[in-house]
Structure 1
Amino acid sequence: MEFFYDRNKKKSKKAPYGRLATQQKMRLAMAFLNPLRPIINDTWKNYGDGKKTKAFGQALRKVIQDAITGDYPDQHIVPEKVMISMGTLPLPPIDDVARSTEQLEVFYGNLTHPMAKDGDELALVLINPEMGFGARNDQTCYRKDGHIEVKIPPPFKQHGFYAYLYAHNKKGTQYSKSCYLGYFEPRA
């Protein structure tokens, strides 16, 4: 008689394909968003019932659903689809982005919209997920100014970085969806 099942025989502990793909998506999303955790906690707080952990979880879910493409094991993040802020406040139209070795400058138009106020503040965010760096402009820039000029921090000069722009009201209660400005190569 031939045995086709032996309960004493050890099973191979191979992880299922779906689990590995999901774990890789989670690792990719966490690596990309983790340098921006303080910013995401503020910009997504309306979508996390005011709780920071829920806000970061919502942003993580959005990246996993929308910004990760490819099949396991060749999955990668599409930075254009990452939302580091979420809201209904309108963002001004971007006219031009200029980078020199020392600074990054963003020129934008003034949008006439019932929800847009001249006193709305704009934030420029730089991120390098491979190195774990994230930075936000420290000077206040308003919608009416027409441009943001930021000195590039030293870690970002040596390595490339992604840039995003978003707007929020003075109180920090309303936010716009973030706008991806591009990837900027390192310059000597």
Structure 2
Amino acid sequence: MADPERAVADTRRWLERAVVGLNLCPFAKAVLAKGQVHFAVTGAGEAPAVLEDFERELQDLLARPPAERDTTLLVIPHGMDDFLAFLDLAGRAERLVRKRGHEGVVQVASFHPRFVFAGTAEDDITNFTNRAPYPTLHLLREASIDRAVAAFPDAAAIYEANMETLRRLGPEGWHALDVGARA
């Protein structure tokens, strides 16, 4: 179990070294450089309490201008170790966004230390495109996604490029990044 400061430091290192460093998300570099990424840590480990913190972060994100806070990473360092339970939580978070009337305004992405794409083996290196040091719910503004996609016309190619990047990197290269999510 990590304390909140450690969870933020580990998540920031992952974002800087893996997500931005490997260009897994070409849109992340700008918001990180501008200080528009908010790192929040929940002390909760059970889904209902995590969702309460998620809703609070959702409202806080929407209450601020994008230039101040464009995106939020809600890190869950306690509990949610089971990947399938976490996927259920992510689905519940998406439903909460819709229920609160923010569909089309905020999108939820999820990352987990044991993330596995359907149809891949658990140790397949391509799973690491969605692995983070801790279970994490990412709140993204849809308007920011739209602007990023407009600036990057072939956004669908990102997924394939990420898979190829990780295949070239391999488990040893991933481990050398020292980002907490282990290959």
TM-score, L = length of structure 1: 0.28
Return the structure number with greater helix share: 2
Return the structure number with greater relative CO, CA threshold 8 A, min gap 6: 2
TM-score, L = length of structure 2: 0.29
Return the structure number with greater strand share: 1
